[in-house]
Amino acid sequence: MYPDYSKPADLVIITVNEDTTPIAAVPVTLERPDIVKGFKKAALEKSGWSANIDPSFLSGDKVTIKAWAYNPNTKEAILLYNVHEIVLK
């Protein structure tokens, strides 16, 4: 989403650990009625996204997956709230 929550982000970029090199970029197109209800903004209906990550990008014992809302107009990426830690065996 844009910082003012007026509309969904255009893309979500996925990074691993502290490296900011994108390993995936996905469009924001899935319906999220919970977001519409929570923010009381119909414009946020398609705020959802889903990403498949190539396992070759995941190495070591533990990785941290980060998702960033990306605005191509301003070329800014804003870290989304949920950061996921994955333990690999």
Q: Is the pTM of this model over 0.85?
A: no
Q: Can you tell me the distance from the alpha carbon of 5 to that of 8, in angstroms, rounded to the nearest whole number?
A: 7
What CA–CA distances, in Å, run from 35 to 19, 44, 64? 29, 7, 25
Q: List pLDDT tens digits, range 5-58.
A: 788 989 999 999 988 899 999 999 999 999 999 999 999 999 999 998 888 888
Count of Cβ atoms closer than 10 Å to residue 72 Cβ: 9
